[in-house]
């Protein structure tokens, strides 16, 4: 592997380019009309225009990406997250073109991208799953299944992910009404109208485990993250390690993630996601077959370069460390700085970044794809930056987070900065007493 095409944009494109250069690899950036003068284009050794601003005509155009790789002599493609990163058809196109895909196999993406198939894999790996059903085709099947699962339930698209394709249902009458709409939504969003039911668990925390697997069958984890602070199932604040976990629970949940990864022959970086109940039970919910937005906090507490490991594994090398080598050192928190207005239902706020002053100091890392003067367009994700703060313990990480937010200046567009300043002082967050509905209950008029 010599030259990597980065099939993404924004902060993750910058992150991949840096890791590739550190590994001695050449890089190719791609860009749409809207991103011609972007930071990642300037950092890469070569850059190729791949289409118009709309994602469907650029970053989601696999044929244009293959052509860009062939034109520049790239021999590998790193998809980052989002866009084509979990689309097995795109991974197959890259492989058919002779390109190394920096990620798991097509079959693994297919299996773990289908929520019903992923649940079956978890069962075979003896990983606990949320009580639920198999695929339900019509209202009668759904009603019968719900009687066994127990209300309230979630109607979930089998091909969904990232918090999309999920509808809560509290009663038989509501299920009969929601099911056809959920199937239509799944068909439109994912080209697959398969849905299944899953019991809704109140007061749960969202805990996820970062794993790495290589071609020799080695699988290791770099411990867990708590991603419970979210709105409409979209994460806003993440922590590593998860606060307040009993040692036995921590060991069990990380071992379960490794068992599942081994069960499906996982190669590359991936994340196994769980719900942790107030009583301490945990249940598998899904696996993301890509690098995660929040991977830097795992890097901060373990010292592992996760993107660097992705590239090593894709090149056929083994994971560079054993499980015994990984230790948790301190704590870290990640704050997503988005161009959104928290006081107006988190409405996206595209516009020009007239000012962007980034904080610094010990334990402060900022991942961004933007500089002052750039435009936050309406075409893509609204993330401006990720603020990652770490310290010898959780209190120190949060203190650095508050100081970094005080130094951060973003002007030109409303952002989530003011919300983060408030949240870091919330007693529940400071004590770790949060769950996946906590933010929606705290800010009911904003979410």
Q: How would residue 71 be classed by pLDDT, with cut points 50, 70 and 90?
A: very high
The reply to whether 267 and 352 lie within a common domain is yes
Same-domain pairing of 285 and 366: yes
Ordered strands of the 234-240 beta sheet = 282-288, 268-276, 205-213, 219-231, 234-240, 331-338, 383-391, 364-368
> Is 60 exceeded by the pLDDT of residue 438?
yes
State which residues form the domain around 54.
Answer: 3-102
pLDDT surpassing 80 at residue 439: yes
Q: What is the DSSP letter of 318?
A: P
Q: What is the CATH number of the domain that holds 38?
A: 3.40.50.20
Is the distance from CB of 342 to CB of 446 less than 8 angstroms? yes
DSSP 129: B
Q: 41 and 75: one domain?
A: yes
pLDDT tops 80 at residue 445: no
Identify the pLDDT of residue 322. Answer: 97
Mark whether 292 and 180 lie in a shared domain. Answer: no
Name the token pair of 224. 């867990």
Within a domain: 109: no
Residue 120 in domain: no
How far apart CA 334 and CA 57 sit, in angstroms, is 31
Percent of the chain residues past pLDDT 70, beyond the cut: 99
Question: How many residues can be counted in the chain?
Answer: 447
Alpha-carbon span 66 to 48, nearest angstrom: 11
Distance CA 386, CA 371 (A): 13
Q: Looking at 162-311, which runs of residues are DSSP E strands?
A: 164-169, 195-199, 205-213, 219-231, 234-240, 268-276, 282-288
Mark whether 94 and 137 lie in a shared domain.
no
Predicted pLDDT at 444: 82
Of 53, 84, 102, at which residue does a domain stop? 102
- If asked whether residues 72 and 209 sit together in one domain, one would say no
Q: Are the C-beta atoms of residues 121 and 111 closer than 8 Å to each other?
A: yes
Residue 112 within any structural domain of the chain = no
Mean pLDDT calculated for residue range 128-146: 93
In the chain, the number of structural domains is 3
pLDDT at 290: 98
Q: Are 353 and 374 in contact (CB under 8 A)?
A: yes
Q: Is the peptide bond before 241 cis (omega within 30 degrees of 0)?
A: yes
> Can you tell me the mean pLDDT for 174-185?
94
Q: Which residue in 199, 290, 312, 400 is the catalytic one?
A: 290
- Pairwise CA distance, residues 119 & 285, whole Å: 8
> Is pLDDT of 273 > 70?
yes
Residue-wise pLDDT for 285-296, tens only, equals 999 999 999 999
Q: Is residue 110, in this structure, part of any structural domain at all?
A: no
Domain boundary among 102, 119, 147: 102
Identify the pLDDT of residue 162. Answer: 62
Q: Mind listing the pLDDT tens digit for each residue in 231-262?
A: 988 899 999 999 999 999 999 999 999 999 99
**Residue 106 clears pLDDT 80, i.e. is over it:** yes
Residues 36 and 160 in one domain: no
What distances in angstroms separate CA 326 from CA 293, 298, 302, 329, one per listed residue? 21, 11, 6, 9
Structure tokens at 181: 């709409």
**Shortest CA distance to 298 belongs to which of 376, 208, 215, 364?**
208
Structure tokens at 363: 């334990």
Rounded to a whole number of angstroms, the CA Rg of the chain reads 21
182: CATH: 3.30.1490.20
Closest CA to 232 of 301, 300, 297, 162: 162
Whether 122 maps to a domain, the answer reads no
pLDDT band at 164 (very low <50, low <70, confident <90, very high): confident
Least confident range of 79-93, 182-196, 292-306, 411-425 = 182-196
- Percent of the chain at pLDDT > 90 equals 91
Mean pLDDT, rounded, for 64-80: 98
Average pLDDT, stretch 160-185? Answer: 89
With b meaning 16 or more CB within 10 Å and e meaning fewer, what string describes 164-195?
A: bbbbebeeeebbeebbeebbebbeeebebbbb
User: What is residue 159's predicted lDDT score, i.e. its pLDDT?
Assistant: 85
Q: Determine if the peptide bond prior to 163 is cis (ω within 30°).
A: no
Helix axes 10-22, 306-314, angle to 10 degrees: 60
How confident is the model at residue 134, as a pLDDT? Answer: 87
Would residue 114 count as lying in a domain? Answer: no
On whether both 228 and 345 belong to a single domain, the answer is yes
Q: Are the beta carbons of 331 and 390 closer than 8 angstroms?
A: yes
For 334-369, what is the HEC assignment?
A: EEEEECEEHHHCCEECCEECCEEECCCCCCEEEEEC
Q: Is residue 240 part of a domain?
A: yes
pLDDT at position 233: 82
Residue 402 known to be catalytic: no
Is 173 in the same domain as 250? no
Q: Which helix (H) or strand (E) holds 29?
A: strand 26-32
User: Are 305 and 418 part of one and the same domain?
Assistant: yes
**pLDDT grade for 115, boundaries at 50, 70 and 90:** confident
Q: Provide the 3-class DSSP secondary structure of residue 297.
A: helix
The three-point CA angle 413-416-421 to 5° equals 125
What pLDDT does residue 446 have?
Answer: 60
Rounded Cα distance, 344 and 342, in Å: 5
Instruction: Flag whether 281 is in a domain.
Output: yes
Same domain, 338 and 289: yes
Q: What is the pLDDT of residue 411?
A: 97
Tens of pLDDT, residues 323-356: 999 999 999 999 999 999 998 989 999 999 999 9
Q: What is 131-189 written as a DSSP string?
A: SEEEEE-SHHHHHHHHHHH-SSEEEEEEEEETTEEEEEE-SHHHHHHHHHHHHHHHHHH
pLDDT of residue 223: 98
Same domain, 44 and 164: no
Which domain-ending residue is among 181, 199, 217? 199
Dihedral pair phi/psi, residue 238, rounded to 5°: -130, 150
């Amino acid at each position: 592997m010599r030259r990597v095409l980065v099939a993404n944009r924004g902060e993750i494109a910058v992150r991949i380019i840096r890791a590739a250069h550190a590994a001695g690899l050449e890089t190719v950036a791609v860009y749409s009309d809207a991103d011609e003068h972007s930071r990642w284009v300037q950092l890469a050794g070569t850059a190729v225009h791949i289409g118009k601003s709309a994602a469907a005509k650029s970053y989601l155009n696999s044929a244009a990406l293959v052509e860009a790789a062939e034109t520049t002599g790239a021999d590998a493609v790193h998809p980052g997250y989002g866009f084509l990163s979990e689309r097995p058809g795109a991974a197959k196109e890259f492989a058919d073109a002779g390109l190394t895909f920096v990620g798991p196999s097509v079959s693994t993406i297919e299996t773990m991208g289908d929520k019903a198939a992923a649940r079956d894999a978890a069962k075979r790996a003896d990983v606990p799953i949320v009580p639920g059903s198999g695929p339900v085709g019509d209202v009668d099947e759904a009603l019968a299944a719900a009687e066994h699962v127990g209300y309230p339930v979630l109607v979930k698209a089998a091909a969904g992910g990232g918090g999309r394709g999920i509808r809560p249902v509290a009663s038989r009458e509501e299920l009969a009404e929601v099911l056809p709409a959920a199937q239509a939504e799944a068909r439109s969003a994912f080209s697959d109208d398969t849905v299944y039911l899953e019991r809704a668990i109140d007061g749960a925390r969202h805990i996820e485990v970062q794993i790495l697997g290589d071609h020799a069958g080695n699988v290791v984890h770099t411990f867990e993250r708590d991603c419970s602070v979210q709105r409409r199932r979209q994460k806003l604040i993440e922590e590593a390690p998860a606060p307040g976990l009993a040692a036995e629970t921590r060991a069990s949940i990380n071992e379960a993630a490794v068992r599942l990864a081994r069960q499906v022959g996982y190669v590359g970086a991936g994340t196994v996601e769980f719900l942790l109940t107030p009583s301490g039970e945990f249940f598998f919910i899904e696996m993301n077959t890509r690098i995660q937005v929040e991977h830097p906090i795992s890097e901060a507490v373990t010292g592992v370069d996760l993107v660097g490991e992705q590239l090593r594994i894709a090149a056929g090398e083994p994971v560079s460390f054993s499980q015994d080598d990984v230790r948790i050192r301190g704590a870290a928190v990640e704050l997503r700085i988005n161009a959104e207005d928290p006081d107006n239902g988190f409405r996206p706020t595209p516009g020009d970044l007239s000012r962007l002053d980034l904080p610094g100091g010990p334990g402060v890392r900022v991942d961004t794809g933007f500089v002052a003067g750039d435009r936050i367009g309406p075409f893509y994700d609204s993330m401006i930056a990720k603020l990652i703060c770490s310290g010898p313990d959780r209190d120190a990480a949060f203190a650095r987070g508050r100081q970094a937010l005080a130094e951060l200046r973003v002007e030109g567009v409303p952002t989530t900065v003011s919300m983060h300043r408030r949240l870091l002082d919330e007693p529940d967050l400071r004590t770790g007493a949060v769950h996946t509905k906590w933010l929606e209950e705290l800010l009911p008029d904003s979410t």
